[in-house]
Structure 1
């Protein structure tokens, strides 16, 4: 969804809207403060003050242009009122992600590493198969995810590969892209504008409400968030994986300084 932008020219400090005035704007409107003359020298300091004073808002301090951009993010009340919608979206994300991964594994006749799917998908990168189509979807294996986009509807989903057979981890940006691109959710019950910032607030609040919960990852120092009401699967820790892989590669590591994580496409 697109916002309407209100532009205010700021030539002196007294032309700045008050914090209360800014708080009164709706989420459907964006505020752009354009600084002219000497007042621009104070722009960064003013932006930092507004960041502190405006809880629930996003204040962007432009690094080149003399402007501040301010928007109101989705509120806790709006998330609470639509919690069952966001919960269903998370369930749909998880279900579709699993279906697409298994469909791709079947098409390419891959030997899926159920403890660490990233290992299997890294093979696609080495075999130059990281981009292609499966059914009505285009896929792209990259980083810690495999992205899919429907060829007709353009629905998109990024499926995580570092949580064992748990494919429902919710990244704020990817979760919002999924919701906004899914035809079945239109019209949305609540306007969504900022794909990362709104997504982060939704995930944090849904976790507080108990609808989402944190889960461990295969990777050291990494965790995720998934819908609470689900059929739970075991997720091996990085130490468990070291033991599993170590049985087969311990001697190779000694002789050639082989590094498991580098082999899997990760740095360690």
Structure 2
């Protein structure tokens, strides 16, 4: 579903729509306020006021163009009414993420670090394997994720790699993008327009409803959110991972014939 944009030219303060008028707009409409020169100097102040006042709205203050863009975000009631849909989307996300990771591991014959998959996937960033294709999916390893996009349907998913074998972490932007790109969900039972802002409201409300829950990764203080109704997996703590890496390094040193001290001409 597309959004229509209503444009209002603002030449003076009295031409600004009231807060109540803005609150009455539907999510299918976007409001663009275009400020003329004599009032444009007040635009940022007005935008900040509206941002502070309009709960459940996104107010975008353009840094260059003399305009404010205002949209209504998905409401708590809409999320509550469609909680079963969002819960199923989260389950599908988790299941597909796990499937794709193991497909790629098998294709590239990787030795998956099940406690910390990012350790394995970081190896791919060092060569041409960072980007490639597995079955009908393109993939790209980056940051804490491996992104996949179906070359036939366009379905898109970003699979997290820092929660052990838990591949269902829901980033607000990635979660909504997954929903919007998944053909099986269309026509959507509820329109979604703002990928990050709507996604954040969905995740926060679903957590409050008990449908989603928080999980913790000690990697850089990176936490996540997953569907509550799932088969839970253990996520190693930072201390556990440090022990794993220390033991891993020791094993490499034992197997290595290279001796740094001899190389430097010193006895050790």
TM over 0.5, shorter chain: yes
- Give the match's secondary structure for 1:244: helix
CA distance in 2, matches of 1:132, 1:248: 28
In the alignment, does 2:101 pair up with 1:109? Answer: no
- Deviation per residue, 1:25-71 (Å, 9 max, x gap): 00000000000022101000000000011000000000000000000
Q: How does 1:89-238 map to 2 (within 5 A)?
A: 89-238=89-238
- Give the match's secondary structure for 2:41: helix
Asked whether the equivalents of residues 220 and 238 of structure 1 are also in contact (C-alpha less than 8 Å), the reply is: no
Q: CA deviation at 1:86?
A: 0.1
- Deviation per residue, 1:156-177 (Å, 9 max, x gap): 1000000000000000000001
CA distance in 1, matches of 2:89, 2:13: 45
Q: CA deviation at 1:128?
A: 2.1
Asked whether the equivalents of residues 164 and 218 of structure 1 are also in contact (C-alpha less than 8 Å), the reply is: no
- Give the match's secondary structure for 1:220: helix
Question: Where in structure 2 are there 5+ consecutive unaligned residues?
Answer: 254-258, 261-268
CA distance in 2, matches of 1:29, 1:145: 34
Residue aligning to 1:261? none
CA distance in 1, matches of 2:149, 2:167: 16
- Deviation per residue, 1:197-220 (Å, 9 max, x gap): 000000000000000000011413
Q: CA deviation at 1:127?
A: 2.9
Q: CA deviation at 1:247?
A: 2.4
CA distance in 1, matches of 2:26, 2:73: 9
Residue aligning to 2:85? 85
Residue aligning to 2:60? 60
- Deviation per residue, 1:94-116 (Å, 9 max, x gap): 00000000000001100000000
- Give the match's secondary structure for 2:125: helix
Asked whether the equivalents of residues 30 and 70 of structure 1 are also in contact (C-alpha less than 8 Å), the reply is: yes
Q: How does 1:40-79 map to 2 (within 5 A)?
A: 40-79=40-79
CA distance in 1, matches of 2:220, 2:134: 32
Residue aligning to 1:3? 3
State the 4+ residue runs in structure 1 displaced beyond 6 angstroms.
none
- Deviation per residue, 1:174-211 (Å, 9 max, x gap): 00010000000000000000000000000000000000
- Deviation per residue, 1:212-239 (Å, 9 max, x gap): 0000114131100000000000000122
Asked whether the equivalents of residues 168 and 226 of structure 1 are also in contact (C-alpha less than 8 Å), the reply is: yes
CA distance in 2, matches of 1:236, 1:38: 59
Deviates further, 120-129 or 94-103: 120-129
RMSD over aligned CA atoms reads 1.4
TM-score by length of 2: 0.92
Residue aligning to 1:263? none
TM-score by length of 1: 0.92
Larger radius of gyration: 2
Deviates further, 65-74 or 124-133: 124-133
- Deviation per residue, 1:7-26 (Å, 9 max, x gap): 00000000000000000000
